[in-house]
Amino acid sequence: MKNLFTILFFFPCFVYAQKTDTAKIKSVILKEVTVTDVRAITGMGYLGEQSGHIIYSGKKTEVILLDSLDANTAQNNPRQVLGRVPGANYSETEGGGFPSNGIGFRGLNPTQSIETNTRQNGYNITADLFGYPETYYLPPLEAVERIEVIRGSSSLQFGSQFGGVINYVLKKGNPNKPFEFSTQQTGGGYGLFSSYNSIGGQLGKVNYFGFAQYKRSDGWRPNSYLKQLSGFGGLEYKATNRLKFGLEYSLLRNRIQMAGGLSDAQFKTDSRASFRGRNWISSPWNIITGKAEYKLTDHTFISLTSALNNSNRSLVWRNEDGGPASADGIDPETNDFVNREVENETFKNNTTELRLFTKYQTGNVEGSLAAGVRGYFGKLHRQGGGEGTTGTDYDLTLLDPNYEYDLIFSTINIAPFIENTFKLGMLSITPGLRYEYIQSKVKGYNPSEDDEEILKSNYSQSRSFLLAGLGLQYNLNYSNNLYGNLTQAYRPIDYSSLTPLGSIVQVNPDLKDSQGYNMDA
């Protein structure tokens, strides 16, 4: 009874207090938020069955969201980000001064990413897709929105390489602001300084984004100086609700001192030592890309992408004849350094891809069709063994205008493809085909193995073949599925295999591309 009396006594006070608090509440209208996608808390996600008008059903995929990661992006080391991908292997050569780090998957050779198709915003950024698939330019990670990784089963839609595709998708301008500026200044040990600056925004029907990054470092070994400027500018014009155009330009300018290699004994004594102070490399990169996309119907899209690569790699160095243990000292006969070698490689290629994507329904079967064709035209001009100066700075001056070898490699590739997903309830079946036509040529001259004579090269080979694949996927629920696929793949003959090494050595006219298959489950 006593407790009941207490409750009844204080009840009016409680009611009065509730009325007072309610009277003080004010209404606040929050800004509208548009949810466009599901964000992975861990920074790792997966591509859906279709994404960006490309079929991924039944394939092994990963998506890394950069703004969800705690990573050191200023050093632009993809290992810190891509290390989250299972089965990845890395080859880091920056310690020796070589700018082309590499990545491979599931035991494939990671050196300079020769087993991986490397792209930016969906187009090729490698030196030469077929004979020299190395990547010197990579966008700074501060500019990357996400990284898409598609394993080897991607070969039907993206072409060669057993290791699959890595696609760096860059940020776009803020659609809600006419102008936005971002800057990030970073300093670190060994003279590291990185300055990243970007602009972006929306002006009417035009979305724009651009960045510039300057980076310099003294390196953690002697003779490892680096300075680099990379930049990008992109415009996207939405002409109508169905038609849009895009134009992008990427560049890289760098100068790198290469510390050189070490013998086992030298490495054991001092792993940070360097006995090469006159080795330099530069790899200016230029990629300009045009895009167009048209929405034929609510379920049918057609797109055209054409990327032109006009780039170079220049090297002046005391070569590794005699191995890394051979000294780069003063010649007592001349009282000067020995002459350095000069190498020069020019890459010019165009990759054009036309794609069609449509969704349809036949009876109770839902379907998605992706088809298209890729055309590739590439030329690599390789010159080397030129007699350079005895200096120590970056200097490509030739004392003799003739190179020791001078070769021109060219490739033509035409590749139509088609994939179709048949969706039967929770089960998706995706068969696909790709036809490859490749023409490879080489002409020029190079010395014999004993340097006694000049060998002239004039080689041409054409071949064609069909690739097939099949993928299965069963969706258990929204976030879990079972999948498996078996897809044929190939690796083209690289240009080094088309170069005879001696007077009695000939290039086999029946030389074939490496062929095999990928299986994921």
User: Which whole-number Å values give the CA distances from 520 to 116, 237, 367, 483, 487, in the listed order?
Assistant: 16, 39, 22, 8, 9
Mean pLDDT of 123-131: 89
Q: Could you tell me if residue 448 is inside a domain?
A: yes
Give the integer Cα–Cα distance in Å for 397 and 387. Answer: 8
Give the integer Cα–Cα distance in Å for 320 and 51. Answer: 47
Q: Give the number of domains in the chain.
A: 1
Q: Could you tell me if residue 244 is inside a domain?
A: yes
Count of beta carbons in the 10 Å neighbourhood of residue 246: 18
Q: Using one digit for the tens of pLDDT, what is the confidence trace for 218-228?
A: 988 899 999 99
pLDDT at position 38 is: 57
pLDDT category, 507, cuts 50, 70, 90? low
pLDDT at position 387 is: 93
Mean pLDDT of 352-372: 93
| 195, 160 Cβ separation under 8 angstroms | no
Q: Could you tell me if residue 182 is inside a domain?
A: yes
Mean pLDDT of 251-263: 90
pLDDT at position 129 is: 87
> Considering only 366-370, 380-384, 454-458, 487-491, which range has the smallest mean pLDDT?
454-458
| 444, 459 Cβ separation under 8 angstroms | no
Give the integer Cα–Cα distance in Å for 273 and 220. Answer: 10
Mean pLDDT of 477-502: 78
pLDDT category, 504, cuts 50, 70, 90? very low
Task: Report the run of H or E that residue 267 belongs to, with start and end.
Answer: helix 264-269
Q: Using one digit for the tens of pLDDT, what is the confidence trace for 297-337?
A: 999 999 999 999 999 999 999 876 767 667 788 888 888 99
Domain with residue 440: its CATH number is 2.40.170.20
The rounded percent of the chain whose pLDDT value lies above 70 is 85
Question: Which domain does 429 fall in, by range?
Answer: 44-520
Q: Could you tell me if residue 424 is inside a domain?
A: yes
pLDDT at position 13 is: 47
Give the integer Cα–Cα distance in Å for 468 and 431. Answer: 8
Q: Could you tell me if residue 31 is inside a domain?
A: no
State the average pLDDT for the chain. 85
| 207, 173 Cβ separation under 8 angstroms | yes
Q: Could you tell me if residue 37 is inside a domain?
A: no
Q: Could you tell me if residue 295 is inside a domain?
A: yes
Mean pLDDT of 30-34: 77
Is pTM beyond 0.85? Reply is yes
Name which of 458, 464, 451, 446 is nearest 513 in CA terms. Answer: 464
Q: Could you tell me if residue 22 is inside a domain?
A: no
